[in-house]
Amino acid sequence: MELKITCIPGDGIGPEIVAEAKKVLNKTVEKFGHSIQYTDILMGGASIDVHGVPLTDEAIATAKSADAVLMGSIGGDTTTSPWYKLEPSLRPEAGLLKIRKELNLFANLRPAILYDELAGACPLKEEISKAGFDMMIMRELTGGLYFGERKTVTENGVRKAIDTLTYNEEEIRRIAIKGFDIARKRKKKVTSVDKANVLDSSRLWRAVVEEVAKDYPDVTLEHMLVDNCAMQLVKNPAQFDVILTENMFGDILSDEASMVTGSIGMLASASLNDSKFGLYEPSHGSAPDIAGKNIANPIATILSAAMMLRFTFDLDKEADAIEAAVKQVLKEGYRTVDIMSEGCTQVSCSEMGDLLVERI
């Protein structure tokens, strides 16, 4: 198989971590008999410096012509960078919002995994963290409260703000289908999170999810209210496989889940449209303070590349090989500075990439 991948190195540590992800991808496809065609585009501050805008129409067209997009990081220091003296529509992050819209990326995937070797970084009690956890939060990305009609008015001298939470059944159905499809690649369990005891939108959400579940008899479905889910994430995170939820709930819960892993440098993510196309990126930022020092942790980007192999190309064995290499390197005690602990061996960004290549 030939994989057509558009790469966005981006800003800050982006070029360094994308280079290591490419290195690992190249070794993986070589081992399994595939090939890759890469095309790089500019986005964010890097694009502003060259084109004056955070994302050009030509770059969007290039991304659309690929099978998937692999991205590093976008943005810089908001207090010192000249990019943040521009109007909001011309700042680096506007490029990310634009590409998500242009590519119709409605399904956000945020895995949260606690590796045995990094359990000490988990802020939960040892009696909880020792069970480990491996969950995928599926967040609807383009609907709900964030995209509903909003306004602020003054009535009888009193200011009033109105935000509208709207979902139609098709928006719910397409994210539910993605959630169940991904559960089939995992432990075959979906926890649908809503607030059906209060909200009409949640009652519709629950009804449509139950309709979709009928097409997946091999996948277990449970419903959970969002407040209970927030508690369960710190009480018993091992119970979760796929958490399926709407935009605002997903925004909050995915950040909570990432915190209990204890290591943001390990967190991958993906945003998918209604085909197999996806944009894959680490959950962390551009870390401009360490850019160019070869000390960034590339594992989140490399795990994002593994997600790309699994969810866009259906290359599960290849994705497994990358994830197994990450576990092996951690087991052997190699760490970048952000996850360094006593008794381990500190390595650079490029050295971590080399170690993973050797173990593919």
- Residues acting as catalytic residues: 146, 195, 227, 251, 255
Report which secondary-structure segment, H or E, holds 134: strand 133-140
Alpha-carbon span 51 to 53, nearest angstrom: 5
Asked whether 92 and 75 are in contact (CB, 8 A), the reply is yes
Query: With b meaning 16 or more CB within 10 Å and e meaning fewer, what string describes 107-121?
Result: bbbbbbbbbebbbeb
Token duo for residue 314: 């259906």
DSSP sequence for 100-131: HHHTT--EEEEEEEE-GGGGGG--S-HHHHTT
From first CA to last CA, the distance across the chain in angstroms is 18
Tell me the C-alpha distance between 145 and 246, whole Å: 9
Residue 343 sits at φ, ψ, to 5 deg, of: 90, -5
Sign of CA dihedral 339, 340, 345, 346: positive
Q: Helix H segments across 214-298? A: 226-235, 247-261
**Residue closest to 26 by CA, chosen among 285, 258, 273, 309:** 309
